[in-house]
Structure 1
Amino acid sequence: MRLLLHPGWSKTGTSALQTYFATFYDRYLKEGVLYPKAGRFIDNAHHGLALAAAPRAGLDFSSPLDQVLNEILAEVSSSGAQTVVISSELSPNYFEIPAFDRLFDAFDEIGVIFTLRPQSEILVSLYKQLLKDASLDFNSSILDLFLENIRWLDFETSISQWKNAAVLHRPKLDVVLYSADALIKEFASVAQLPVFEFQQRPNTSPSDLATAALAKTFDFRNSVERLGIREQFVAHVMENAKGVGIEGFPLTRDERAFIDRVFDRSNMRIAREYLGREVLFEGTARDHDHAIMNDATFQAFARLLVQSFDAGGQP
């Protein structure tokens, strides 16, 4: 039997992959592939397994690790599957946790597949998600967010830690590069799995304009937040702020290039080891390919968004 672990990174199409495998649970099972229902928590990811192994503040999952592992092993045993896929971007390094040895010992072959994306793109996507989430009181700048997560964005360090901790189990490590159109097919190809046609995109980010509106109207939103209707305000902004970019927002071209250059050497080593080439990503610092609104015009537009929301209409 073969176990495939997918530990992320976050913002690299993980939600799409997890939704895909959950959607085709029955079809994959007929092909001898199990995406366990045990260990899932929040959407379609195996966050329950990850949180049982390494609890996180603010994510309430209380089942003990032994119980979750027992449930997964029981499902594996009853399924008759020859390949098991477990996916969670919250995954700690499972190979560092002794309790996981009995899970690993149930398999003849173990693989770990990392999905990667240019660091500047991950940062922008994470920033958009934090602004979009109505349950969070997020008002940091994107550069502050970068500094807070610079170690997490260093792919090489984390992959090396997984590799070093897993030496006794000798897993096969692979990387798959993010693509909005081809990620599922690329992942299935590397994992040597059949692939089914799938169109859903479950985790759409706000447009650049909507992101800018959410960020730059932070000082204008006090009355909205006091009324407890932040979620409706987010939906209003996303609906009425489409198709136009903000010059230099959320990162200028030079800022994107700088962030990606920070990781050039470590990314090059990953490219050499796992892809047999010199460059991991190409063309990471991109100009806007749509209309640009200057900041002065945008400030007026942002205020109109708040006014139109209060009036229940459109700007």
Structure 2
Amino acid sequence: MKRIILHVGTEKTGTTSIQKYFWDNREKYRERGLCYPECLGTQNHVGLVTCARGFAENDSIRILQEIYSRSTHERYKRRARLQFRREIENFDTIVLSNEHLSARLRKPEEFKRLKSFLDVEANDVKVVLYVRRQDEFLISSYTAHILAGSTAPFSIPGVDRGHMRYNYRLLLDRWAEAFGIGNLTVRKYQKASFPDGSVVKDFCKTVGIDSLGQQADYNENTSLDANKLEFLRRLNKFLPLISEGRRGFDRTKLLSLIREIELVGPELSSDAEGIVEFQRRFEGSNRYVANKYFGRIEPEGDPLFGASRKRAQKSGRQWDEETAFEIFAALWNRS
């Protein structure tokens, strides 16, 4: 009896740590009868999203995979199914992970395609999903968007846009309807509650997999203060990740260099008035989630996540023209 464990994020909840851990240890796990497939993407199984979604003109995930036509898209899906079937054939447990599944899949037909892709190969499909306090998610998402090439300045999402991305009631009920509430495990992304503070160990414990020794979580947003983010945001206009519907500038070296800069600027803060109000928007939906998926309301603060965790904020010079040249000079010296 084959079992598939499908980890779907959400975004900014340690997904890179989980994916890197299973990718680095995939050969050891294969010896134990567990497969972390290679055919659906290197480390991150982005191919699942490509197989589940239809052909959209401005689909960045599809473009970054260099799939530019409907016919190529269809060939990719057929090939992915065949390769997946062959790769998992001799394994009882399969772990799949992609955070874009929770962010990009919204239409019933997309969930139907994903479920069909998995059900053909396994008798038992379990979905694991982590949720993060919305104000923290908002700030971390902004960093991710800038790293991915966005040129938009930081702003509080409007009610409609925020409703779709940050409303966990809508998100979880969608997955529960598609796969069955008994097949959905929801975890709060709160490092203080994880074994040794590790989301990797928490994930392994949650799904009943032995973890292989010590594993440090990967820090996805190292050294990206507000000034570095602003510099990169403005630079993105001239070095786009996607240009005219094609894959654009390779940003790997640039992002590595900007993370190494020692200049310290101010941090984006979750204590700002607009962000505090943003968190309050979701009190009702968070209360619903706390009751339905956790069976418990937090006694203080947010009904789902509890009281806000205050952090000491780094200070530094605010963004100005001289700051931009200072960052440029630091990059030049490291290049």
**TM-score after normalising by structure 1:** 0.78
Q: Does the 8 Å CA contact 1:4/1:86 hold for their aligned counterparts?
A: yes
Q: How does 1:188-199 map to 2 (within 5 A)?
A: 188-199=204-215
2:69 is aligned with 1:45: no
Q: Does the 8 Å CA contact 1:8/1:115 hold for their aligned counterparts?
A: yes
Assess, with a 3 A threshold, how the Cα gap between structure 1 residues 222 and 124 changes in structure 2: closer, same or farther: closer
2:204 is aligned with 1:185: no
Shift of 1:232: 6.7
Q: Does the 8 Å CA contact 1:128/1:206 hold for their aligned counterparts?
A: no
Choose the corresponding residue for 1:274, options 281, 293, 298: 293
Question: What residue number does 2:97 align with?
Answer: 87
Shift of 1:96: 3.1
Shift of 1:103: 3.2
Q: Does the 8 Å CA contact 1:208/1:245 hold for their aligned counterparts?
A: no
Distance in 2 (CA, whole Å) between partners of 1:266 and 1:223 is 37
Question: What residue number does 1:97 align with?
Answer: 112
Distance in 1 (CA, whole Å) between partners of 2:315 and 2:138 is 21
Q: Secondary structure at the residue paired with 1:151? A: helix
Q: In angstroms, what is the RMSD of aligned CA positions?
A: 3.5
Q: How does 1:110-189 map to 2 (within 5 A)?
A: 110-133=125-148, 136-144=149-157, 148-167=161-180, 172-179=183-190, 181-189=197-205
Distance in 2 (CA, whole Å) between partners of 1:254 and 1:165 is 37
Assess, with a 3 A threshold, how the Cα gap between structure 1 residues 303 and 282 changes in structure 2: closer, same or farther: same
Distance in 1 (CA, whole Å) between partners of 2:120 and 2:232 is 53
Question: What residue number does 1:26 align with?
Answer: 27
Shift of 1:234: 5.4
Question: What residue number does 2:301 align with?
Answer: none
Q: How does 1:8-19 map to 2 (within 5 A)?
A: 8-19=9-20
2:269 is aligned with 1:255: no
Q: Does the 8 Å CA contact 1:33/1:85 hold for their aligned counterparts?
A: yes
Q: How does 1:202-281 map to 2 (within 5 A)?
A: 202=218, 204-207=220-223, 209=225, 211-215=226-230, 237-241=258-262, 245-246=266-267, 249=268, 251-279=270-298, 280-281=304-305
Distance in 2 (CA, whole Å) between partners of 1:151 and 1:34 is 33
Gaps of 5+ in 2: 68-72, 192-196, 241-248, 299-303
Assess, with a 3 A threshold, how the Cα gap between structure 1 residues 73 and 236 changes in structure 2: closer, same or farther: closer
Shift of 1:146: 8.5
Question: What residue number does 2:194 align with?
Answer: none
Deviations 1:10-56, CA, capped at 9 Å, x for gaps: 111111111111111122222222112221x2x41110122122152
Task: Give the aligned length.
Answer: 297
Q: Secondary structure at the residue paired with 2:209? A: coil
**TM-score after normalising by structure 2:** 0.74
2:102 is aligned with 1:59: no
Give percent identity, aligned residues only.
19
Q: Does the 8 Å CA contact 2:287/2:297 hold for their aligned counterparts?
A: yes
Assess, with a 3 A threshold, how the Cα gap between structure 1 residues 253 and 52 changes in structure 2: closer, same or farther: same
